[in-house]
């Protein structure tokens, strides 16, 4: 099992708009290609960030599903054009669960 943690820094003042866009437009599309483990936003510390974790059976599955996502008309035409204007920075990590992790 593989987990991808994605951290996005949103432009100041746009967090609520980004969260609404993701919930209404981005999430329905992404759920066709990946399993959401969790989605959070910061309140203390580095502000204006959202962190989400997605589960994949393999890196090959991730590669195939990401290609399908990038070809999805709704993703390309309705989510990305608005979302990209709200982002300042993005960081992605592939993580492996430790043997003692409650989520594997």
Residue 101 lies in a domain: no
Residues with pLDDT less than 50, the chain: none
Residue 103 lies in a domain: no
Residue 32 lies in a domain: yes
Per-residue pLDDT tens over the stretch 66-88? 999 999 999 999 999 999 999 99
Q: Which residue has the tokens 């580095």?
A: 46
The CA distance from 104 to 102, in Å, is: 6
Residue 102 lies in a domain: no
CATH number of the domain where residue 90 is located: 3.30.70.100
The CA distance from 11 to 50, in Å, is: 11
Residue ranges making up the domain that contains 51: 2-95
Q: How many domains does the chain have?
A: 1
What burial letters (b/e) apply to 58-91, b meaning 16+ CB within 10 Å? eeeebeebeeebeebeebeebbbeebeebeeeee
pLDDT of residue 104: 80
Which DSSP letter does residue 2 get? E
Nearest to 7 by CA among 34, 32, 40, 33: 40
pLDDT of residue 95: 94
Output the pTM of the full model. Answer: 0.92
């Amino acid at each position: 099992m593989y987990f991808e943690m994605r951290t996005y820094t949103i432009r100041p003042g746009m967090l609520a708009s980004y969260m609404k866009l993701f919930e209404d437009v981005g999430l329905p599309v992404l759920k066709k290609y990946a399993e959401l483990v969790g989605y959070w936003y910061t309140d203390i510390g580095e502000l204006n960030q959202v962190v989400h974790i997605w589960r994949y059976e393999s890196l090959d599955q991730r590669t195939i599903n990401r290609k399908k996502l990038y070809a999805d008309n709704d993703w390309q035409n309705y989510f990305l054009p608005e979302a990209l204007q709200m982002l300042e920075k993005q960081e992605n990590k592939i993580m492996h669960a430790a043997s003692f992790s409650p989520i594997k």
